Structures are given as structure tokens and as C-alpha cells.
Amino acid sequence: MKMPLDLMAKLAEYAEKAGSRQAKAREVLLGPLDTDIATTPCEMVYENDRVRLKHYLPQATPKVKTPLFIVYALINRETMLDLQPGRSVVQNLLLHGIDVYLTEWSYPTRKDRFLTIDDHVNGYVHDLVDFLCQRHGLPRINVMGVCMGGTFAVIYAALHPKRVKNLITTVTPTNFDTDQGLLHVWLKQMDVDRLVDALGNIPGDLLNLGFLLLNPARLLVDKYVGFFDQADNKEFVENFLRMEKWIFDSPDVPGETFRQFIKECYQENLLIKSRMKVGERRVNLKKVTMPLLNIYARHDHLVPPAACELLVDRVGSQDAENICLDTGHIGIYVSSRCQQELVPKIAHWLQERDA
């Protein structure tokens, strides 16, 4: 009967530890917590409908004279690029002497349901680029896209190549014909017309539910088990809550944009074939002639490498480079290790092309 006795002893020990951890966790959770996100000082310099443009105040001597305009995705919020000091892509870029502007798409309402990709790219993005060119007295600026925002940036660069000096795409899907990611498999089946007709805008919570279902074991179970395991660690709890705050702060996606993105990209894969039409104009990737830095993540379960890496071969640019980082879709922006890798690469690449 040795085994049950051992087990009993272990159980008792475990219960004792859990009890003490619970007491500490209670102190942490009931005490003051710093869970603020997006704290890097910035000013709003432009506003049009729901769309705003953030300009971050410089924190170092400028090393790149052309400003960097970041086009964020319509899914989730841009606060992810500035989660907390020390783990902020924005702050890191500023410390590398880059002048940073970031789009804030805000929360679409029912009246925004008719906005298409054309309205976002040839409307808002184009206006913002125009505004920045005027503000800085430059003919073109540097553009960086994040995920779906990267797809918009590629479309914009193809339609308005004279406005983009250098293009950086990060975890940007451009080739949608792959079975590497579950999202690509699932969305091929979706009757998007039925969904958009019924819902108007696509609720952010519904999208989040879809993302959670991609890996329920980790995202719905293990993540929270890990949280309770370390709930007595204040720093861990604060970081965890910041991430939770960001993840579940999801604006809805304008219905017509969602319809077009799913149909023409995920289901028909028109962009990478240079057959997509935006605002009556064909998006010809050969028109993307400016330098292109295409960064993606090896373990990305949302936008797998196969969805990103083809772009450099399809564009017209002679200076196009792929960089694959050993991380995941979000880790590329928030992990401390990637912070040390991603931003210096971008800063160095931009400096070399800032003549």
C-alpha cells in the first residue's frame, strides 16, 4: 500500500501549497494592479469619421527622416503595439529614432457596415498618407502594415506606388490558398453572404470566439490554469491582465469589408494572383516597386508562413526580403525576445533606405 500513501502525502503537500498560494493570490488580486495599456505619450493629429491618427512623441534623436505610418488591422485594436513600457513596439521604434504614426480604426457602428476595402484603402489610408506627406513636406512616406492592415498596405502600395517610399509587412496574409492554418480551411467553407446579410457588421466577440476555437485546449483551458498557477506573482498577473484587456477589446468589422476580404481573399485568393479589384482598379502586385521587408512568424497559427512568404516573389520590387521569426502571431510584437529582434531589424532596414 505504499503508492496510495505517497499519493496522499503528495496531495496534502499540494493542498498546503495551493492554500498558501491562494492567500497570496488574494492579496495580489485585491490589491492595486497596474494594467494600463497604450501608455506611450501620443497626440491625435487627424480625425475623419471614426478613424484617427496617433502621432507618438519622439523619445530619441531622429535617425530616419521619413516618418513611419503604421496601418493596423481592422481586427482587435492597435493597442497591441504598445502593451506596456518595455514590451512596446511603438516605444522601441521611437527609441531607435523613428517618427511613428499609428492608425486607430476605432469602433465601427451600424452606419459603417457599407464601407468596403476600397473605402478603407483608397479612402482612409490614402487620406492619411496625403495628410502625412503634406505635414512633412515629403512626396512619399514609409508604410508598415500589421496583419490585415498589411494586406491593406500592400493593396495601397500597388495602387499608389508613388506615395510609398518603403513598405514593411508584418504577419501579413497575401496568399490565402493554403491548408497550413485552420482559419484558411474554415473560411473556405463559410457562407459569408448569409452571415453579413444577417449581422451587418461582424461582431468582434464572434471573431474572438472563432480565434479561441482554433486551439481551445490552450486558449480556453491551459492559459487560465497557468494564470491560477501564478496568480500570486504580481508582475505575471499584471502582464496577463494587460493581454486579456487587449484580446477581448475587439471592435466589430464593417460587414462589406469582411464580405469582400473573405470572398476575394480567403475563398478566391485573388490578391496574390494580381486579380483583385479595389475601387474598379486591378491590384497589380508588379506595381509594388518600392523596397519591401516582409516579416512573418514560423509558429503563426492565424497567418502561417505559407500565407506570407510568396509576396516577395510576386511584387515588382527588386529589393524585397523575407524574414521569418521563430515565434507566433502575437509573440512577434509582444514577446521580450522578439522585441529585441523585430524593431532593430526594421530600424536598420529603414535607415539603410532613407537616402
Partner 1 sequence: MGSGPFTSGFFQGASPWPEMFQTLAPQWWSGYFTLQRLWLEQLAQVPPELQLSQLTPLDRNFFKNWLAAYEQTWQPLWQMPQLGLTRIYQENATRLADKFQVFQTALADFLFSLYQPVEESLAIVQEHLTVQARQEQISDDFQVYYRLWIKTLEERYLTLFTEPDFLQTMTKTMEAMSDFLATRQEVVTATLKNLAIPTHEELDELHQEIYQLKKQLRELKPKAGKKKAAKRSPSSK
Contacts with partner 1 by CB under 8 A lie at 3, 6-7, 10, 14, 110-111, 113-115, 119, 123, 182, 185-186, 189-191, 194-195, 197-200, 213-218, 221-222, 225
- Contact (Cβ atoms closer than 8 angstroms) between residue 89 and residue 342: yes
Q: Which amino acid is at 68?
A: L
Our CB check for partner 1 shows the closer of 99 and 256 to be 256
Q: How many CB atoms lie within 10 A of CB 189?
A: 7
3-class SS at 316?
coil
Calculate the CA 286 to chain-centre distance: 25
Please name the helix (run of DSSP H) or strand (run of DSSP E) that holds residue 164, with its range, or none.
strand 164-170
Where in the sequence numbering do the catalytic residues fall?
Answer: 147
Cβ neighbours of residue 339 under 8 Å, at least 6 residues apart? 87, 89, 92
Q: Minimum Å distance from CB 11 to partner 1?
A: 8
- Contact (Cβ atoms closer than 8 angstroms) between residue 174 and residue 272: yes
Our CB check for partner 1 shows the closer of 30 and 194 to be 194
Q: Minimum Å distance from CB 192 to partner 1?
A: 9
DSSP string, 238-266: HHHHHHHHHHT----B-HHHHHHIIIIII
Our CB check for partner 1 shows the closer of 65 and 186 to be 186
> What is the torsion angle, in degrees rounded to the nearest 10, for the CA atoms of residue 172, residue 177, residue 183 and residue 189?
140
User: Cα(326)–Cα(311) distance, rounded to whole angstroms?
Assistant: 19
Strands 164-170 and 141-146: parallel
Strands 281-282 and 277-278: antiparallel
Name the nearest CA neighbour of 145 among 355, 288, 245, 299.
288
Name the nearest CA neighbour of 144 among 133, 129, 131, 134.
129
Q: Minimum Å distance from CB 110 to partner 1?
A: 7
Our CB check for partner 1 shows the closer of 49 and 326 to be 49
Helices (H), 140-181: 148-159
* Residues across the chain: 355
Our CB check for partner 1 shows the closer of 15 and 57 to be 15
